[in-house]
């Protein structure tokens, strides 16, 4: 047996399962993962990404064609419209499910027949780096495992976490207002199962090592199907202990380390991404010491950037950016400003005041948005997320309401995201500039449906080919920005970043390539007024030749200034890498 690997694994397992024979458990896990006895560790601090990496986030059935499986349609749409723009595709849960648009999984090892087949998934994986969700915290109440839990037979008998209504659960952190414990009739009486998210999503019991072994087997099968990016859904809630907040517990962090250790020894190019929609300081802990997540979602970016653009004031965004530690080599951030979920409000804790949060909520409400709530330990309901399509979220300002700068504001938001340290991720409805889908909300009864529209391919292609449609304008402008970004070494996800101080209406930062041969000054007018930028304020090196990568404008007089229209951005570079 590979003693160094096994020794690391045993040490981690002993933190989680101190009462068990962790030597034997480690052998079970290594066998399940199919790791050979002489498996060598991967190179330390290896970046499995570069400046060309762009992620697309989509449901399997967002784009549809009559008489065709959606995964087939999606693959063709990607090839026809986005093959030159993206490197990775995150297909949101494509498994059989009972609720929550896929996040209540019934069978982890099957593809939803209405979407397509494993062969369709594998074809996409051959053309793009494929990300899939490991919905690891909970499983459908209609799954076979849960049916076995009710019948008290294996596999499943002890796979789900049980609670006691008499326990003190007041400290438990909740992302929802639904009951935490739900009574279930089983063949040996009534039991209370723990449901962090909904009655149909029953939390798994990782205190039972058989659950960990099951998931290691699932991970191996995903790897063998071509999946190399693993999004650990809701992983912060994985370990429960009554009397604690039941979030971010040490056992959870150790379980992530265990999964990373096994995954990276199996496939050195594989990546773990943790989905932890929590306040910024808590989120950062999931890097560990560069031994937990390779990548963490930058959850504070969406609400702070949207707040910046609707207020015309970048103070909070700039303060947050200055506080963000540079990611160690082998780790990085996933930058996004829209997703299949809403705009999280918890990540603004400690960053926006209650009054500022309420103003943002009121503004989004006036733009057609909705608000989802969570229940706090003292029984109060607090805003958890704002549900709104990004294009509509940026249709105006908090002060003046809707205006004629919507498209420019929308493009500005993405220009910021594309330039920041980390890997950019585009939700498909942002690339397509989809609008609020209020009809879908009414149909499903779920607020998150507002940003989960489904397109018929013919209609979508017509919109994208129509130069007068806002969909076409946004799509082609974003594709051009992506093409520029993917060629610039200074936009490597781990390249140096420093925040510029240019006042409250100009948000700026400097990126420098890892070889220090390219610098890009990224400056964004985040207001609806014209702004003047004195070039002396950004210290352009006089011996270099500078130009804006976006407009092509050359800078001849370094003592002069440049004028930025409302929501205009410039990427001032000393070395152009052409596209």
Residues 481-507 pLDDT 10s = 999 999 999 999 999 999 999 999 999
Report the pLDDT value the prediction gives residue 541, as an integer from 0 to 100. Answer: 87
Q: Is 231 annotated as a binding residue?
A: yes
Q: In angstroms, rounded to a whole number, what is the distance separating the alpha carbons of residues 359 and 349? A: 15
In the chain, the percentage of residues whose pLDDT exceeds 70 is 99
Mean pLDDT, residues 172-178? 91
Looking at per-residue pLDDT, the higher value among 377 and 262 belongs to 262
Strand partners, 484: none
Question: CB under 8 Å to 505, separation ≥6 — which residues?
Answer: 312, 313, 314, 525, 526, 527, 529, 531
Mean pLDDT, residues 64-79? 98
Q: In angstroms, rounded to a whole number, what is the distance separating the alpha carbons of residues 284 and 165? A: 33
Provide the phi-psi class of 516: left if phi over 0, else alpha when psi is between -120 and 50, else beta: left
**Cα-Cα end-to-end distance for the chain:** 49
Mean pLDDT, residues 215-235? 98
Centre a 10 Å sphere on the Cβ of residue 330 and count the other Cβ atoms it contains. 18
pLDDT at 360 over 80: yes
pLDDT at 579 over 60: no
pLDDT at 268 over 50: yes
Q: In angstroms, rounded to a whole number, what is the distance separating the alpha carbons of residues 429 and 449? A: 12
For the chain, what percentages of helix, strand and coil (3-state, to nearest 5) are there? 35, 20, 45
pLDDT at 577 over 70: no
**Weakest mean pLDDT among 219-228, 517-526, 553-562:** 553-562
In the chain, the percentage of residues whose pLDDT exceeds 90 is 92
Q: Is 340 annotated as a binding residue?
A: yes
Mean pLDDT, residues 223-245? 97
Report the pLDDT value the prediction gives residue 1, as an integer from 0 to 100. Answer: 41
Band (pLDDT 50/70/90 cuts) for residue 3 is low
Report the pLDDT value the prediction gives residue 578, as an integer from 0 to 100. Answer: 56
pLDDT at 2 over 80: no
Report the pLDDT value the prediction gives residue 380, as an integer from 0 to 100. Answer: 83
Q: In angstroms, rounded to a whole number, what is the distance separating the alpha carbons of residues 566 and 548? A: 17
Express each pLDDT in 363-404 by its tens digit.
Answer: 999 999 999 998 887 778 889 999 999 999 999 999 999 999
Band (pLDDT 50/70/90 cuts) for residue 92 is very high
Report the pLDDT value the prediction gives residue 44, as an integer from 0 to 100. Answer: 86
Express each pLDDT in 312-354 by its tens digit.
Answer: 999 999 999 999 999 999 999 999 999 999 999 999 999 999 9
Where would I find the beta strands (DSSP E) of 363-454?
A: 370-375, 381-387, 396-397, 401-402, 423-427
* Assigned architecture for domain 496-573: Sandwich (2.60)
Mean pLDDT, residues 515-539? 96
Express each pLDDT in 506-525 by its tens digit.
Answer: 999 999 999 999 999 999 99
Report the pLDDT value the prediction gives residue 108, as an integer from 0 to 100. Answer: 98
DSSP class of 198? B
pLDDT at 223 over 60: yes
pLDDT at 568 over 60: yes
pLDDT at 407 over 80: yes
Q: Is 414 annotated as a binding residue?
A: no
**Weakest mean pLDDT among 155-164, 480-489, 518-527, 535-544:** 535-544
Q: Is 100 annotated as a binding residue?
A: yes
Q: In angstroms, rounded to a whole number, what is the distance separating the alpha carbons of residues 501 and 134? A: 41
SS3 410: helix
Check if 80 is active-site: no
The token pair at 80 is 């026809």
Choice among 233, 313, 392, 548 that is catalytic: 233
Q: Over the chain, what is the mean pLDDT?
A: 96
Mean pLDDT, residues 275-282? 94
**Nearest residue to 137 via CA among 192, 96, 197:** 197
């Amino acid at each position: 047996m590979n003693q160094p690997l096994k020794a690391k694994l045993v040490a981690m397992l002993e933190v989680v399962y101190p009462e068990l024979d962790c030597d034997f458990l480690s052998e079970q896990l290594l066998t399940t993962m199919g790791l050979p006895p002489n498996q060598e560790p991967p190179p330390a601090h290896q970046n499995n990404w570069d400046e060309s990496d762009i992620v697309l986030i989509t449901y399997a059935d967002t784009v549809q064609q009559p008489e065709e499986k959606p995964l087939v349609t999606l693959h063709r749409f990607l090839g026809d419209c986005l093959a030159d723009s993206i490197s990775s595709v995150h297909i949101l849960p494509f498994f059989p499910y009972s609720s929550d648009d896929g996040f209540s999984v019934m069978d982890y090892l099957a593809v939803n027949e209405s979407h397509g087949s494993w062969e369709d998934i594998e074809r996409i994986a051959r053309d793009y780096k494929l990300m899939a969700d490991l919905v690891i915290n909970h499983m459908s109440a209609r799954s076979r495992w849960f049916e076995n839990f009710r019948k008290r037979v294996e596999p499943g008998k002890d796979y789900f976490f049980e609670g006691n209504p008499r326990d003190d659960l007041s400290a438990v952190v909740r992302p929802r207002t639904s009951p935490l414990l739900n009574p279930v009739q089983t063949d040996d009486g009534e039991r209370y199962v723990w449901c962090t998210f909904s009655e149909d999503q029953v939390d798994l019991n990782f205190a039972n090592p058989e659950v960990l072994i099951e998931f290691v087997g699932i991970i191996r099968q995903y790897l063998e199907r071509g999946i190399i990016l693993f999004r650990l859904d809701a992983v912060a809630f994985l370990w429960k202990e009554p009397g604690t907040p039941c979030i971010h517990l040490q056992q959870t962090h150790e379980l992530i380390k265990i999964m990373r250790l096994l995954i990276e020894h199996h496939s050195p190019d594989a990546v773990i991404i943790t989905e932890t929609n929590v306040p910024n300081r808590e989120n950062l802990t999931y890097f560990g010491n560069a031994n937990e997540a390779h990548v963490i979602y930058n959850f504070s970016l969406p609400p702070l950037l949207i707040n910046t653009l609707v207020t015309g004031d970048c103070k909070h965004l700039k303060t947050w950016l200055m506080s963000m530690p540079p990611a160690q080599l082998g780790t990085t951030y996933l930058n996004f400003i829209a997703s299949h979920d809403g705009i999280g409000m918890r990540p603004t804790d400690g960053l926006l005041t209650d009054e500022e949060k309420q103003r943002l909520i009121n503004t989004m409400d006036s733009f057609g948005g909705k608000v989802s709530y969570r229940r706090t330990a003292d029984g109060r309901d607090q805003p958890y997320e704002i549900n709104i399509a990004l294009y509509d979220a940026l249709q105006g300002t908090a002060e003046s309401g809707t205006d004629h700068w919507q498209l420019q504001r929308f493009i500005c938001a993405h220009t910021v995201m594309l330039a920041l340290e980390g890997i950019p991720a585009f939700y498909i409805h942002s690339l397509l500039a989809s609008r609020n889908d209020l009809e879908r909300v009414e149909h499903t009864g779920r607020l998150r449906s507002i940003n989960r529209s489904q397109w018929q391919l013919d209609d979508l292609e017509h919109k994208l080919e129509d130069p007068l449609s806002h969909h076409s304008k946004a799509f082609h402008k974003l594709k051009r920005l992506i093409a520029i970004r993917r060629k610039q070494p200074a936009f490597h996800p781990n390249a140096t970043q420093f925040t510029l101080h240019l006042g409250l209406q100009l948000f700026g930062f400097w990126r420098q390539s890892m070889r220090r041969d390219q610098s890009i000054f990224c400056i964004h007018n985040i207001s609806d007024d014209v702004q003047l930028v004195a070039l002396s304020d950004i210290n352009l090196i006089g011996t270099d030749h500078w130009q804006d990568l976006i407009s092509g404008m050359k800078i001849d007089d370094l003592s002069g200034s440049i004028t930025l229209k409302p929501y205009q951005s410039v990427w001032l570079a000393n070395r152009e890498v052409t596209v």
